[in-house]
Amino acid sequence: MTTLTDKPDTAEGGSTGAQSGSAVVAAVKKRPGALAETGSPLLRPPAAAHLSDEQVAELGRELDAIKDDILAKRGSSDAAYIRRMIKIQRGLEISGRAALLVSKNKAAWVTGTTLLSFAKILENMELGHNILHGQWDWMRDPDIHSTTWEWDFVTPARSWQHTHNDLHHRWTNVVGKDNDIGYNLLRMDPQQEWKPFNLGNPLYNALLAPVFEWGIAVYDLELVDYREGRKSKEALVKDLKALGRKALKQFTKDYAATPAVAMLTGSGKQALYGTLTANAVRNVWAHAVIFCGHFPDGTDTFTEEMVDGETRGDWYVRQMIGSANISGSKFMHLMTGNLSHQIEHHLFPDLPSNRYAEVAPKVQEICRRYGLPYTTGPIWKQVGSTWAKIFRLALPPKKA
């Protein structure tokens, strides 16, 4: 058997740093699940049922080769990219907050709120999400490392890494194992039992979008696991304290410090509204991007039979047919944190995000050659498809 996660990379011409290296190794050991060296799952997904074990193994080798090629090419240009993005993001945030200090002027309020919204989106999507995946750990920069970065999101980074990196990316779209299917709130798959509560699916989703960071924070507490005895009271209390500390930090920065300084110019109330608006804009955007990558028509879900005994090739297949991309401009890709290349991200979650556009045509060609769907479309189409599913699954299933 072989674990899903690769061994941590070592710097070119050197070895893993003591502190960050040991942390990465520890993270690897905690990753759940394992993949079979050979064979096949008990049942292949319908979209891949035509593939033989040999074809799946060869597909896996082709995708491994793509990943190895990118790993070999990583270097100074990639490091310069992420450092440039950090500078841009911080410049946007400082400029936005500065404008909000005089936001009694309407033009300053619009400018400050817009800049701060862009800053928060860029931090969450292209920086926070991707750095916390370990995409830049190979740089051995303690300031840009998955074990040290804390993002501008209310849920603590370590809690999110557990539910997202360790669980969601291992069990992508497996009903009963991947709780990201609906986040314990929405019915997002016909296999999920319908209950009268699900009639509110569209309402719950509409309410979730502007407060998405708080929804994720509650989800990361794993309250269902606690209620069903899979999480101890001590672990829950520890997570609650971490969330409390992080929430206080976020509240102080956005809703106390900035408005308090703005009061000196008579702009305190306007600054508060500006930070509230920027957080809501960021939340709605993040919600849309994430839902478009997982739930539009064309994305498959899986039973536990379909992952029992799966090989690395089968795992790759599941990522490709269980994810969806968003087509659009380079700016749109940047503002999604390159999660517009969700298929490529699910295949290679630890590759630098700026490389996904390079990888995407190769992945699409492999899908075509092996007769697998490659779901993609403009954001309006993916959003519409996702909402249609949310409305459809709010209703009880039709009787046979």
DSSP string, 55-76: HHHHHHHHHHHHHHHHHHH-SH
Q: For residue 306, give the DSSP letter.
A: G
DSSP string, 270-291: HHHHHHHHHHHHHHHHHHHHHH
pLDDT level of residue 2 (50, 70, 90 thresholds): very low
pLDDT score recorded for residue 254: 97
The whole-angstrom separation of Cα 142 and Cα 131 is: 11
Is residue 106 over pLDDT 60?
A: yes
**Phi, psi (deg, nearest 5) at residue 389:** -65, -40
Is residue 12 over pLDDT 60?
A: no
Q: With contact defined as beta carbons under 8 Å apart, do 145 and 122 qualify?
A: no
Is residue 13 over pLDDT 80?
A: no
Mean pLDDT calculated for residue range 49-69: 97
Q: With contact defined as beta carbons under 8 Å apart, do 366 and 63 qualify?
A: yes
pLDDT digits (tens, 9 = 90+) for 171-201: 999 999 999 999 999 999 999 999 999 999 9
pLDDT digits (tens, 9 = 90+) for 386-396: 999 999 999 99
pLDDT score recorded for residue 39: 87
pLDDT digits (tens, 9 = 90+) for 30-47: 334 578 888 889 899 999
pLDDT level of residue 17 (50, 70, 90 thresholds): very low
**Cα dist from 248 to 129, 154, 159, 388, whole Å:** 21, 9, 16, 37
Is residue 9 over pLDDT 60?
A: no
pLDDT score recorded for residue 33: 56
pLDDT digits (tens, 9 = 90+) for 133-151: 999 999 999 999 999 999 9
pLDDT score recorded for residue 37: 86
Is residue 284 over pLDDT 60?
A: yes
pLDDT score recorded for residue 400: 66
Q: With contact defined as beta carbons under 8 Å apart, do 12 and 336 qualify?
A: no
Is residue 78 over pLDDT 90?
A: yes
pLDDT level of residue 242 (50, 70, 90 thresholds): very high
What is the value of pTM for the model shown? Answer: 0.89
Is residue 19 over pLDDT 60?
A: no
pLDDT level of residue 399 (50, 70, 90 thresholds): confident
| Strand ranges (E), 180-339 | 325-327
Mean pLDDT calculated for residue range 16-36: 45
Q: For residue 128, give the DSSP letter.
A: I
Mean pLDDT calculated for residue range 153-162: 97
**Mean pLDDT, the chain, whole residue set:** 91
User: Which range among 38-47, 50-59, 110-119, 197-206 shows the weakest confidence by mean pLDDT?
Assistant: 38-47
pLDDT score recorded for residue 21: 40
What does the block give as tokens for 154?
């209310």
